[in-house]
Copies of this chain bind each other. A is one copy, B any other.
Amino acid sequence: MVDSALIEEALERRKARRESFAGVSYVRLTDSLQGWPRGSVVLEDGTVVPGYPSIGRVLNLEQGLAQHFQAPFHAEEKVDGFNVRIVRHAGSHWAFSRGGFVCPFTTDRVPDLIDTSVFDAEPDLVLCGEVAGPGNPYLEGHPPEIQEDVVLQVFDLMRFGAADFLPVEGRRALLERHALPAVPWHGRFDVSQAADLRALVADLDRRGVEGLVLKEEGERRKRAKYVTPASVVQDLTAMGDALLDLPPEYFTNRLLRLVLILEESPELDRPELRRELGAALIDPLLDAAREHRTTHKVAHSFCSRFRSKENAERFVEHLRRIPQSEIHSTVRSLEQGEDGYWELRFDRVFPRISGLLGNFLSGGQVYD
């Protein structure tokens, strides 16, 4: 519970915004407020769904462990999807995005993603997990082993009104007890075991896994994330054709990551890696330029499944509200399949690269 006067003040100072979904209103924090991180949600009755704090990235495991960890820690798989918090509130299930919006897609699919009976036993639980798979409506990439639709993998548990995570051991036991899907757990390590972790990362890299999140035991609950070279190549491949619609740091930051990982772990370097990196930066954009001659645009196509038509329509509204430079979405179709699910097909259009390719392919000059 937070004081309603505090919320009113935050709304006035533009540190919070009032939102609504399916007739239910809530407030999301657009800035941190009195210990609640950005993305925290205040429900109608004053209940707080704590925001999910960001996790710092290290680019050197050995030094990173030495600098940040003081106790043993757990290594969990970092999954390539989007972060949600799922709760039960007023008899319904809600999934909140990182920014504190209700995600109409995940909210719609909650019954497919988890056995919601967990909330009978634990009504104040906040399930923090990653939604991943080719049916993901936000992201281009997905873990290679998820072949269709989406799955949820839980990586943290919180409780209403407490900006803190359950300890890893307790969380794992609770998830197992309720048969809830969890991110793969890769073991418990201490700071002297950087070499073991690097061997684990090499294995994950071969399997195309995104990386690891390390979570310290005890009161400090320090965390760090670390990615694989494969994830860099995947990210660049996924967005190579949107070269000028993302912040250019999307590309330069990932190159820096890749190089620092290789600096520490030469065993992750492979003869094919340079060719793969070059291909990631050439081929998606080259394909896009060729297609542009007929389509006159660069776009990514999505197909996501919904249980209810209403939620699919709410999702379309939601997409319009997400500010991501000038990237916009256009709906192609919304049709009910034989299995009763509504399939929403839409394109995400990249206006800047679309326009520039059109200009250059028709002979335009640039003074750069």
Interface residues of A (CB under 8 A from B): 54-60, 62-68, 224, 243-244, 248-249, 251-253, 255-256, 258-260, 262-263, 273-279, 281-283, 285-286, 289-290, 356-357, 360-368
Query: Which 9 residue pairs across A and B have the least CB separation, nearest first?
Result: A63-B363, A274-B278, A56-B365, A248-B248, A277-B278, A67-B363, A278-B278, A64-B363, A59-B360
Interchain CB contact under 8 A, B263 and A274: no
Interchain CB contact under 8 A, A277 and B285: no
Q: Give the distance in Å from the alpha carbon of A286 to the alpha carbon of B261 in the complex.
A: 10
For residue A296, give the distance in angstroms from its CB to the closest CB of chain B.
Answer: 15
A260 and B289 in contact (CB under 8 A), knowing A63-B363, A64-B363?
yes
The residues of B that contact A248 with a CB separation of less than 8 Å are 248-249, 251-252
Interchain CB contact under 8 A, A60 and B367: no
Interchain CB contact under 8 A, A57 and B277: no
A256 and B64 in contact (CB under 8 A), knowing A367-B57, A368-B57?
no
Majority secondary structure, A binding face: helix
Residue from B55, B59, B256, B274 within 8 A of A244 (CB atoms): B256
Q: Give the distance in Å from the alpha carbon of A256 to the alpha carbon of B285 in the complex.
A: 8
Interchain CB contact under 8 A, B60 and A363: yes
Q: Can you report 29 A-B residue pairs in the complex whose CB atoms are below 8 A from each other?
A: A56-B366, A56-B367, A57-B367, A59-B360, A60-B362, A62-B363, A63-B361, A66-B363, A67-B362, A67-B364, A68-B363, A68-B365, A243-B252, A248-B251, A251-B251, A251-B255, A255-B285, A259-B282, A259-B285, A259-B286, A260-B360, A260-B361, A263-B361, A274-B275, A274-B277, A275-B278, A277-B278, A277-B281, A278-B281
